[in-house]
Chain A
């Protein structure tokens, strides 16, 4: 009877612990991506409803530091369907481990015209 109760307690505790652990692992990448996006919005590097202006040197966005717990970051702005970068922003140390990479569509303003573009982001700890 005691051993059955002990097994039940262990099963309950370990299942709660492992489920929490597994959920955290599954959601880690998504959470990081959303954190990075929020940080970029707060720094004017990405706009969900608006255009990023790349009009001339000094007129485009700058990379003012890095998000918390991030040691390096690269952002590439380019027009949709064209791999040639219009602007590349780099900061931090070279990557030495896992890199979180994602891209988002956005409007780019260049020479007074707004067109569909893509922002490619790479971040690493």
Chain B
């Protein structure tokens, strides 16, 4: 009688342990693939690429009469002079293409929209509609007259 009760007790114990192991593994799997964390990581990645891109300096002797300036400073200066010329747009394109190509290769479709006030410039390829989540990092430069937004869709 006592032996039977012990066996029943052990069976309950083993059942409880198996239940806990399965539950814990389930929690670990769900936590590791947490959409919130993935979203935060992608937002942070986009922010850091955008920061570095805007801090890049214009190549020497490449269309700008100014001394060494960053892309952000160049965009602010352009916003004060009205619509940019074709050569100036090409220079901006040359400076942002590397970052867009990098993100295209490693993460997903990437495009950049720069609002200079008088004109809005688009770089990179827009994905077709209905393609997953879109992440964006938006920066207001200077007094807010220039807005640079880097988009990523995965």
Contacts and interface: CB of A to CB of B under 8 A. Distances in A.
Interface of A: 3, 6-7, 10-11, 14-15, 18-19, 21-23, 25-26, 79-82, 103-107, 112-118
Interface in B57-115: 57, 59-60, 68, 70, 95, 97-102, 105-106
B38 interface: no
Interface of B: 5, 8-9, 12-13, 16-17, 20-21, 23-25, 27-28, 31-32, 48-49, 51-53, 55-57, 59-60, 68, 70, 95, 97-102, 105-106
Interface of B is mostly: helix
Contact of B52 (A26, A113, A116): A116
Contact of B9 (A6, A21, A22, A105): A6
Contact of A80 (B8, B57, B98): B98
Contacts of B16: 7, 10-11
Nearest to B28: A22
A115 B57 contact: yes
Nearest to B32: A26
Q: Which 10 A-B pairs have the closest CB atoms?
A: A81-B101, A22-B28, A80-B98, A81-B98, A3-B9, A18-B24, A105-B52, A80-B102, A114-B57, A116-B56
Nearest to B96: A116
B20 A18 contact: yes
B98 A104 contact: no
Given A14-B17, A105-B48, A116 B24 contact: no
A18 B19 CA distance: 12
14 contacts: A3-B13, A10-B13, A11-B16, A19-B27, A26-B28, A80-B49, A81-B105, A82-B98, A105-B49, A105-B99, A112-B60, A113-B57, A115-B56, A118-B102
Given A7-B12, A10-B16, A105-B48, A80 B59 contact: no
A70 to B, nearest CB: 23
Contact of B24 (A3, A10, A15, A113): A15
A118 B53 CA distance: 11
A118 to B, nearest CB: 6
Contacts of B48: 104-105
